[in-house]
Structure 1
């Protein structure tokens, strides 16, 4: 009889922890693929917040998505301990903590997860059993590589760095119905134009003023996409302030545009972006969704503060491009900029169109 020796660092049940924002979660997906390739028979779960759960549904590398809702269901001391006990019952033997928060280090420790790997940059970092010094704020390399460095510390092999999101059929069908109703996709488009219409999506919003390209330039850009490339322009945005920006832009564009701001779930957004030939956006979460579904991206960057720059947060798809211009700042103050975000203003409509042209003609 032959016996197969198990690897020293073999883990049966693995938990990946990332409870921050959309882009952060998407850029963690290469970790899931690497774990599955190294541990094909293991149970792999990911712990996220309620807002990003949908991004992981249908992911072929995951067995389970665990939602940690610290503002509602898991709020307060009772909610915290209830969640810890639920996690403990799942009997994970490895936690990879990629969101460096004291609370998360404590949760994985109290849940009796024997190996806890992550970055040490807070007072509960000592609870990690396998740790790296957190130099991510220096922005010396991309966030994907920072995530994968934890796996490298555990001795795992990495084959791919491209993010991945599964697009669900129900979202494809839902978006298809929306486009068909507007005469953009499917049989309606073929009936009116004899062909499927090519779509460019634009996202003029972002989480911070230091990441917003002037809105009037999005207006000019949209007009040129129609005139120069015959593209149908769709606007997307979420959140009250960003939706107001998109609504204002939509009113000023000379041609009919479809404004879906505030009308799509994350799953529907993924399906829509997959349908596009190009996506143009400020630095934001949807940039990484587009990359993850294989749609070429042009991402507009302003701030170059260490840890916030394109060196760490640019899109990583094989056909993606990002635009950033230095304007002589010795230190980037990001949202506290005192020269009116000249780095963003330095990026012209022609700069963006050149990037679009290079992608579409490649």
Structure 2
């Protein structure tokens, strides 16, 4: 409660004109922003405490990208004009020099150049969303026909162990383990400079979307498929169709994830790489 009071006091001192709560499920910040006396409070009607909003918007159900719904909320801003829509790109294009120098040293030590590696981010914070490690092993082996090395990223002992297991079965294919070596900024840097990201549904996929990095994401049926699908120009959201999509909870079986086939993943990767190469030639 003391933390809540401190937050209310701090927000009141700033005298904000508007709050926009992007979250569409409970819990949200509607009670907090009302107590902080922010005069214009925008959010979704179905997320709880909607009576405390000055502008309550109906949640449309998740059939489009979440970015479109965020834009819908912004249209409730006083005096908003469609021309005011921001570019949905990172707020920074230039990374700190110290991070650039460090990444140059790390990748240079492996003789890896920007745009000349595939990036695998195989784990996620919610383990039920992960593809089986045996399938990652098979996919890594199958990708040996490409000349590109595979860089692996992850954080924590569990993810590092998974990466070591996959790399240990890779045979002669060139794999680079960067688990537990990168800051968040540096993770974004390797995502941006990779030729292609292959990942579980995680932060890495959203970073690829922001930087317009080609990506193949192992999706899941917990939420409507389009809701969290990347909006990068070249991407594939892989999912095994099951009748319970979306379930909003997850389950012990997670067949929507675990039954995604090796050939389907390989085809998705090959297709994305081909489209990216074609686009590069056209725009180059």
Q: Give the TM-score range, shorter chain.
A: 0.7 to 0.9
Instruction: Output the aligned Cα RMSD.
Output: 2.5
List aligned pairs for 1:1-362, cutoff 5 A: 77-99=1-23, 104-135=29-60, 138-154=61-77, 155-157=80-82, 162-164=88-90, 166-167=92-93, 168-170=95-97, 171-185=99-113, 198-225=116-143, 227-254=144-171, 255-303=173-221, 305=222, 308-329=223-244, 332=247, 334-337=249-252, 340-362=253-275
| Counterpart residue number, 1:60 | none
Q: Partners in 1 of 2:175 and 2:109 — Cα distance?
A: 14
Q: Partners in 1 of 2:17 and 2:210 — Cα distance?
A: 29
**Residue 351 of structure 1: CA displacement?**
1.5
The answer (yes or no) to whether the contact 1:105–1:128 under 8 Å persists in 2 is: yes
1:91-135 residue CA offsets vs partner (Å, 9 max, x unmatched):
211111113555621222222211011113354221111111335
TM-score, structure 2 normalization: 0.84
Q: Partners in 2 of 1:165 and 1:335 — Cα distance?
A: 33
TM-score, structure 1 normalization: 0.67
Segments of structure 1 that go 5 or more residues without pairing to the other structure are 1-76, 186-195
Q: Secondary structure at the match of 2:145?
A: helix
Q: Partners in 1 of 2:115 and 2:245 — Cα distance?
A: 46
| Closer, same or farther: CA 80–117 of 1 in aligned 2, 3 Å | same
| Counterpart residue number, 1:14 | none
| Closer, same or farther: CA 87–331 of 1 in aligned 2, 3 Å | closer
| Closer, same or farther: CA 348–253 of 1 in aligned 2, 3 Å | same
Deviates more, 1:282-291 or 1:249-258: 249-258
**Residue 310 of structure 1: CA displacement?**
1.9
**Residue 169 of structure 1: CA displacement?**
3.2
Aligned length: 268
Q: Partners in 1 of 2:6 and 2:213 — Cα distance?
A: 41
Q: Partners in 2 of 1:79 and 1:142 — Cα distance?
A: 34
